[in-house]
Amino acid sequence: MPKRKLSWASLLLALATSPILPSQASSSPAGNLWQVVDEGFEARSIQLDGQPYQTSIKLQVLRLDLERFQLRLIDSRAFGSDRMEIKTLAKKARALAAVNGGFFLPDSRPLGLLIIDGREVNPLRKTDWGVFLVQEKRPKIIHTREFQNEGAVSQALQVGPRLVVEGKEMRLKKQAARRSALGITFKNQVILLCSEETIIYAQDLARIFRLPESEGGLECRDALSLDGGPSAQMFAEYKSLKIDIPGGWAIPNGIGVFKRQP
């Protein structure tokens, strides 16, 4: 039986009548691919617009393997200043990349637990926040009440709210702002994230952290919001990667990325 030829007219008619859902058109994961900067260090830009998200979203994201790279809290006071922009702080600390850290008081003192290289710089605050910590190269995000420092915690930062807990989105206040955040994947990789020129609802950010990569998400087991608004900022300058997202003001501390020495 001879093959039936499809005319251009019938092809155009078929395309015109094929349904395209808004979510398919606006938030497809196509193009949101990871760039391998180095083994264990990846970067990705994410742009989402339309349902189910409440605002247009643009994010810069880093994904890190802590077997090859090290995360350390970096403190402006170690370099003679109460506060610095993250770009300046990263360069002074010789970090390959950095994102802003936790909350702080008007006098620039940290608000909440801060442990740097095993030394407690600021005490734990009794509040309904989370704690990001690194213990023997293993990253964790826990609730404040779960934290116990038995001497093996090398880095810790108390901030919040938690966005994802054991793969489930938390219920969050309906508030849009510039955002920075941190997540841990099911493979124990660490995600550092900062919004670029956009404001985001916390619930939408939690959804992005939770969703599998096949649906355009970051596939994280746990995620935690860092200080947002004018504090949200990120800088990276490593090999082919350059990111410079300034904040609205200087900040007292951040999370820096460093190469592990063999």
Give the integer Cα–Cα distance in Å for 42 and 110.
30
Residue scoring higher pLDDT (143 or 16): 143
Q: Tens digit of pLDDT for each residue in 229-252?
A: 999 999 999 999 999 999 999 999
- The number of angstroms, rounded, from the C-alpha of 245 to the middle of its chain's C-alpha atoms is 13
pTM: 0.87
Mean pLDDT lowest for which of 5-14, 86-95, 110-119?
Answer: 5-14
Q: Classify residue 57 by burial, with Cβ atoms within 10 Å: 0-12, 13-18, 19+.
A: buried
- Domain assignments of the chain as residue spans, ordered by start: 29-259
Q: Tens digit of pLDDT for each residue in 134-187?
A: 998 899 999 999 998 877 899 999 999 999 999 999 999 999 999 999 999 999
CA-based angle 94:87:41, to the nearest 5? 60
pLDDT band at 189 (very low <50, low <70, confident <90, very high): very high
